[in-house]
Amino acid sequence: MKPTRLLIAALAFAVAFPALAADPTPEQKARWAKEAEERLHTDWAYLGRYRDANAALLAPVKGQPRIVLIGDSITQGWFDQVPAFFKDGRLGRGIGGQTTPQMLVRFPADVIELKPAVVQIMAGTNDIAFNTGPMTPDESKANIRAMTELAQANGIRVILASIPPADQYPWRPGLDTGSKIVAMNTWLKAYAAATGSTYADYWSALVAPGTNGMRAGLSSDHVHPTPAGYAVMAPVADLAFAAALAKPAPTRAIIAR
């Protein structure tokens, strides 16, 4: 990866952690960016992030199906800002700044090995931002297909989460975000239907009418939800979890292209 791409990815990491500090200092941002750039060379997918937490997990509790939420900073921020949502077998496995190829690499460790009944995959906004280099929509779709098929082949029900609305990325000024997110969400909804997965439509719950951005007060920076934003997302998640659990566990991957 070229140095400029490394810098972009590192800066994306730095702005992707609104929950780590209410008002991060320039020194904190610089440290996060430096750590992120170093990690790109030593643990590109950040497999070490949840290694100890995964190893410490006990077997799923009988009568309490485990639900893993894998994603980027939007998923991580949900746990950081509203930890009470993660109860009754719900596990957050979000990592700020991540793209679909990174999530695919850690999918076996952070999802399959945890033996959940359901996985929610929320991914794609950082692909659009080119956080780990230029990516086409088809490349993002291929990674989401791969995660879906891996889950289904291991008897895990899949929830495909829409990308939340974002009319701009603070770390990528001038990039067309809104229309690309809408296009990816259209595909995610159709792909979920084709594979027997559940579609969680967070976009519609958060979007400001007539725009591609979030409603006032629901986002801290046009991308990351505030606690009020997560409060809007929670009922969508609860319905998606219930819908997914009502389906029989897959016995094989459903291949749809």
Q: Using pLDDT thresholds of 50, 70 and 90, give the confidence band for residue 11.
A: very low
According to the model, what pLDDT value does residue 109 have? Answer: 98
Q: Kindly state the percentage of the chain with pLDDT values over 90.
A: 75
Q: Looking at the domain assignment, is residue 251 inside a domain? A: no
The answer to whether the CB of 126 falls within 8 A of the CB of 75 is no
Q: Looking at the domain assignment, is residue 253 inside a domain? A: no
Contacts of 93 (CB under 8 A, 6+ apart): 50, 68, 69, 70, 71, 75, 106, 110, 111
Q: Looking at the domain assignment, is residue 237 inside a domain? A: yes
Q: What is the mean pLDDT of residues 98-117?
A: 97
Integer Cα distance of 229 and 202 in angstroms? 10
Query: Is pLDDT of 3 > 50?
Result: no
Indicate the number of domains in the chain. 1
Q: Looking at the domain assignment, is residue 85 inside a domain? A: yes
Q: Looking at the domain assignment, is residue 257 inside a domain? A: no
Query: Is pLDDT of 104 > 70?
Result: yes
In terms of residues, how long is the chain?
257
Q: Using pLDDT thresholds of 50, 70 and 90, give the confidence band for residue 32.
A: confident
What is the residue range of 166's domain?
3-245
Query: Is pLDDT of 200 > 90?
Result: yes
Nearest to 93 by CA among 101, 84, 106: 106
Query: Can you read off the two tokens belonging to residue 10?
Result: 């590192």
Matching residue, tokens 């159709």: 190
CATH of the domain at 123: 3.40.50.1110
Contacts of 165 (CB under 8 A, 6+ apart): 178, 181, 203, 206, 207, 208, 211, 212, 213, 214
Q: What is the pTM of this model?
A: 0.90
Q: Using pLDDT thresholds of 50, 70 and 90, give the confidence band for residue 22.
A: low
Q: What is the mean pLDDT of residues 17-37?
A: 70
Q: In which element (H, E) is residue 56 found?
A: helix 51-56
The answer to whether the CB of 248 falls within 8 A of the CB of 155 is no
pLDDT (tens digit, 9 = 90+) per residue, 119-150?
Answer: 999 999 999 999 999 999 999 999 999 999 99
Q: Looking at the domain assignment, is residue 255 inside a domain? A: no
Integer Cα distance of 65 and 163 in angstroms? 25
Integer Cα distance of 133 and 65 in angstroms? 37
SS3 assignment, position 109 = helix
According to the model, what pLDDT value does residue 40 have? Answer: 78
Q: Looking at the domain assignment, is residue 156 inside a domain? A: yes
Query: Is pLDDT of 243 > 60?
Result: yes
Query: Is pLDDT of 170 > 60?
Result: yes
Integer Cα distance of 160 and 119 in angstroms? 9
Q: Looking at the domain assignment, is residue 250 inside a domain? A: no
Query: Is pLDDT of 45 > 90?
Result: yes
